[in-house]
Amino acid sequence: MNYLENKRNENERKGSIEVICGSMFSGKTEELIRRLRRAQFANLSIKIFKPAIDTRYSVIDIVSHDQNTICSIPVEKASEILKHANGTNVVGIDEAQFFDNEIITVCSQLANSGTRVIIAGLDIDFKGIPFGPMPYLCAIAEDVFKTRAICVRCGSLAYISHRLIDDHSQIRLGEKNLYEPLCRTCNNDSINQKPSSTC
């Protein structure tokens, strides 16, 4: 009886939501690619998506800061993911903070239908405010994994992606020319225009 029950459970597709979050330069996309590669090695079908607005490294590929790449499908709206992901074992979504709250419903639908959903994104913006749908995705996820960058000023664990230019719009695509990872203390010192202190 137990043997049959275990065998049946192994064959069932069990959906779930995993969130990888943290500041810029913390390895979120690297971890997303690693998990998706493992799924490929297990001969699972995968589909990967990213917001069409993110063309920093490539129009199509997802590219980590370490230049690891994996092919993706750029989408304008979260609802487009459902059209491509039907019957897929594993769905990866990068830069989820750029989607609106529709992404929450999409991820729930996929997980409820038996798909493993792996999401990567910034949990807070450069002001320290929870970013877009990310806090909701963290709340409904079975697993939340927070990656940490290193503060470029003191070497402590970074807390935030500090913006280097005077631009207060929430969404501003950029890399090391526009952002640097800082710990809370160094970020506060920068905001207050004080010299960085030792953390």
Catalytic residue among 95, 102, 142, 180: 95
The question of whether 95 is a catalytic residue gets the answer yes
CA-to-CA distance for 175 and 195, rounded, in angstroms? 23
**Count of CB atoms situated within 10 Å of the CB of 9:** 9
Q: Is 95 exposed, middle or buried (0-12, 13-18, 19+ CB in 10 A)?
A: buried
* Cα–Cα dist 84/67, whole Å: 26
Edge to edge, the sheet with strand 90-93 lists 73-75, 46-51, 90-93, 116-122, 16-22, 143-146
Active site residues: 95
